[in-house]
């Protein structure tokens, strides 16, 4: 099944999630509804809700229950994006103005706090303390990942392992628990929720590596923001780390990165991007993403052979091939 067909097949359930998200963030304070709905309308792939719903197929599928997992997970993801945009000083995301640029930093900060808190009111409505625990533990790890990213800005000597640990926390974990909690909420057996966690974790790793590749190789139209943003803010991603290992490029690339770091005001990362593109770092990072996808598919093997299993496999394959 192609991905578009999957979205079409899941349309009514995804719409129910979308409606519930909009209802959840609507506030009696107009400004908060405006900023939150602006974010919702910007859209997104809704990867986390899709994973929750498909994982819920391995248990006793109930939209009433799954909504209480899918909505908070996607809202938490959105809250971190708003806070990220403050940090990154990002003007656009998904082709739309960010909250911090349409309003301002302090409004973006409290919008993030608010969406985050609203997400918690939804999940705490679910009478399963173990799920609350897993979620809160994961949010802690995400915050640590965000802080590691700040700490590692412009650190050209960080290891690949360092990068992997950071993206595990920053991205892979929330996708992993989307799968896990979808299964847990619908009372799927523990071995199923474990396998789905591993699946989600590996897809999440591939997803972030691909995201980092797209920031270097994508077009502004396709990725919804100007390419090279990671380098402009000092975020040294996997292809860059690999490029830095090439003797013929290393010195030139280091010079460009130092130039970006030391430039005050608007920064141009085009020369650095070009160097990385010309390196074998792109291919090596792509291979790494493929390896994670292979691991994700492997994690699915032990699961019962229901249609959702094939859908998950299709999404995993899409993640590494996507251009947006």
Contact between 150 and a copy of itself per CB under 8 A: yes
Site for a copy of itself, residues 112 to 131, rule: CB under 8 A? 112-114, 116-118, 120-121, 124-125, 127, 129
Contact between 264 and a copy of itself per CB under 8 A: no
Residue showing tokens 């130092």: 258
Contact between 144 and a copy of itself per CB under 8 A: yes
Contact between 143 and a copy of itself per CB under 8 A: yes
Contact between 21 and a copy of itself per CB under 8 A: no
Contact between 164 and a copy of itself per CB under 8 A: no
Task: Quote the least distance from Cβ 141 to a copy of itself, whole Å.
Answer: 9
Contact between 155 and a copy of itself per CB under 8 A: no
Which residue lies nearer to a copy of itself by CB, 216 or 231? 231
Contact between 146 and a copy of itself per CB under 8 A: yes
Which residue lies nearer to a copy of itself by CB, 61 or 103? 103
Count of other CB atoms within 10 angstroms of residue 304: 11
Taking alpha carbons only, the member of 80, 92, 96 closest to residue 38 is: 96
Site for a copy of itself, residues 49 to 108, rule: CB under 8 A? 83, 86-87, 105-107
Task: Quote the least distance from Cβ 22 to a copy of itself, whole Å.
Answer: 16
Query: CA geometry: angle at 236 spanning 234 and 242, to 5°?
Result: 150
Near a copy of itself by CB under 8 A: residue from 71, 90, 139, 243: 139
Residue showing tokens 């690339």: 253
Rg (CA), the chain: 20
Contact between 151 and a copy of itself per CB under 8 A: yes
Residue showing tokens 């090439």: 246
Task: Quote the least distance from Cβ 125 to a copy of itself, whole Å.
Answer: 7
d(CA 209, CA 238): 7
Residue showing tokens 């519930």: 20
Task: Please enumerate in sequence order all residues whose Cβ is within 8 A of that of 85, keeping only pairs 6 or more positions apart, or say none.
Answer: 93, 98, 99, 100, 101, 108
Contact between 148 and a copy of itself per CB under 8 A: yes
Task: Quote the least distance from Cβ 265 to a copy of itself, whole Å.
Answer: 18
d(CA 297, CA 257): 37
Contact between 267 and a copy of itself per CB under 8 A: no
d(CA 305, CA 298): 14
95 contacts 224 by C-beta, under 8 angstroms: yes
Contact between 270 and a copy of itself per CB under 8 A: no
Contact between 255 and a copy of itself per CB under 8 A: no
d(CA 204, CA 176): 7
d(CA 205, CA 169): 10
Region near a copy of itself per CB under 8 A, out of 135-143, 209-217, 268-276, 306-314? 135-143
d(CA 83, CA 324): 22
Interacting residue ranges for a copy of itself, rule: CB under 8 A: 27-29, 31-32, 83, 86-87, 105-107, 109-114, 116-118, 120-121, 124-125, 127, 129, 132-133, 135-137, 139-140, 142-144, 146-148, 150-151
């Amino acid at each position: 099944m192609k991905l578009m067909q999957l979205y079409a097949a899941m349309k009514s359930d995804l719409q129910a999630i979308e409606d519930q998200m909009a209802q959840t963030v609507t506030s009696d304070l107009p400004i908060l509804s405006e900023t939150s709905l602006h974010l919702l309308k910007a859209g997104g792939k809704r990867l986390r809700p899709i994973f929750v719903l498909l994982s819920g197929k391995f248990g006793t599928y109930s939209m009433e229950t799954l909504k209480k997992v899918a909505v908070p997970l996607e809202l938490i993801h959105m809250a971190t994006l708003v806070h990220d945009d403050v940090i990154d000083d990002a003007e656009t995301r998904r082709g739309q103005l960010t909250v911090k640029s349409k309003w301002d930093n302090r409004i973006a900060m409290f919008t993030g706090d608010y969406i985050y808190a609203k997400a918690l009111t939804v999940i705490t409505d679910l009478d399963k303390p173990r799920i609350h625990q897993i979620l809160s533990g994961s949010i802690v790890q995400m915050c640590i990942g965000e802080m590691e990213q700040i700490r590692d800005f412009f650190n050209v000597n960080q290891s690949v392992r360092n990068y992997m640990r950071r993206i595990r926390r920053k991205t892979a974990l929330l996708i992993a628990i989307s799968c896990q909690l979808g299964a847990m909420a619908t009372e799927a057996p523990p071995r199923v929720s474990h396998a789905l966690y591993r699946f989600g974790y590996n897809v999440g790793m591939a997803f972030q590596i691909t995201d980092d590749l797209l920031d270097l190789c994508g077009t502004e139209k396709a990725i919804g923001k100007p390419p090279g943003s990671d380098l402009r803010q000092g975020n040294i991603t996997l292809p860059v780390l690999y490029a830095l290992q090439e003797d013929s490029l290393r010195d030139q690339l280091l010079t460009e990165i130092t130039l970006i770091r030391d430039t005050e005001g608007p920064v141009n990362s085009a020369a650095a991007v070009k160097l990385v593109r010309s390196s074998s770092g792109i291919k090596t990072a792509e291979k790494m993403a493929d390896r994670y996808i292979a691991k994700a598919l492997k994690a699915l093997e032990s699961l019962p052979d229901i249609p959702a299993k094939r859908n998950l496999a299709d999404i995993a394959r899409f993640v590494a091939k996507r251009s947006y």
